[in-house]
Structure 1
Amino acid sequence: MKSKEENLLNEQGETKVLDSSCWQFMQATIENLSQQQIDQAQLQKLSPAALAYLGDAVYELYVRMYYLLPPQRSESYHRLVVAQVRAETQALHLRSLTPHLRHSELEIVRRGRNATTGRPKRLDPEIYQQASSLETLIGYLYLTDQPRLAELLQRLQLEK
């Protein structure tokens, strides 16, 4: 990460500049949310669905924080966030992160994919599995390795 600013390119090729204090704030928020410590034995008892449940909340919070600045109307915030938390977008994010994942993280993704059972009727089952896999990974990293979670979240190409 650059010391003074972080440059991100959205899909239109426009650069979004976030200063390091914004990234530090997002990372600190993610780290500070976890007040309850969980040991390895407890972690092993959690189902991929439980990890995805947590990951969904952490991911949405990250996306909401990302769009917080510059200030906008509530409707604009909502539109931007909903576009990013859709299963189709989450599946794209998982595919973009896959080359950067470690072996252990790929195993969590696999567990999340294989644990998905139901799905909304409007979705292709593969898209739903990929979105659930991303949420499972985010939930797992939130509980086990928050600096790594922040690193991966910064790789996401969120649209403006």
Structure 2
Amino acid sequence: MEESITSLSAFSDYFKNTLKLKEVDVKTYSPLALAYIGDGVYELIVRTKVMNHGSTQVHNMHKKSARLVNAGAQAEIIRRLLEDEDLTPEEVAVYKRGRNAKSVTTAKHATVADYRTATGFEALCGYLYLNGSLDRLVTLIGKGLERIGELE
């Protein structure tokens, strides 16, 4: 019988061991690589929050998630976090590296400013995730969602 995983630390260890992940220095990743993983992590957190409202039609869950997992919403979240000085100097530096990274893709449904700001937010999410700071990641996303009026 398998053991139950009851903490973030235990989950992180289990995850790393099971997938045979090697130790890497998160600071060696490019800001766009951090944004790549951060985008997925942020979306998973938002989908988890949306599903927590109870079983409903998948289409409705998708619409709610899509409203929060887009450049405009992500840009607004990070702007509020910066405005209220919720980030550490290290987190601000990671965000700025992501925001200033030159991407070959362009915004489809957002301004260039929102797209780049959102990329910085995603880079921060990726950085915190890969660093194992899941509690900090969820705390910041929770604060951000609350500040944009999306945390009931």
TM normalised by structure 1 equals 0.73
Which residue in the other structure is 2:49 paired with? 66
Choose between structure 1 and 2: higher strand proportion: 1
Residue identity in the other structure for 2:96 = R
Aligned residues between the structures: 132
**Correspondence 1:8-87 to 2 at 5 A:** 28=8, 32=12, 35=16, 36=21, 38-40=23-25, 43-69=26-52, 70-87=54-71
Gaps of 5+ in 2: 1-5
- Say if 2:106 is the partner of 1:119: yes
- Say if 2:79 is the partner of 1:95: yes
Give 2:92's match in structure 1, choosing from 77, 82, 106: 106
1:66-125 CA-partner distances (Å, limit 9, x unpaired): 011211110111000001001101100111111200000000011001103341254321
TM normalised by structure 2 equals 0.77
Over 3 Å counting, the alpha-carbon distance change for 1:141 and 1:77 in structure 2 is same
1:36-91 CA-partner distances (Å, limit 9, x unpaired): 35332xx2321101000000000000000001121111011100000100110110
Matched residues in 2 for 1:135 and 1:115: separation? 12
| Identity within the alignment, % | 32
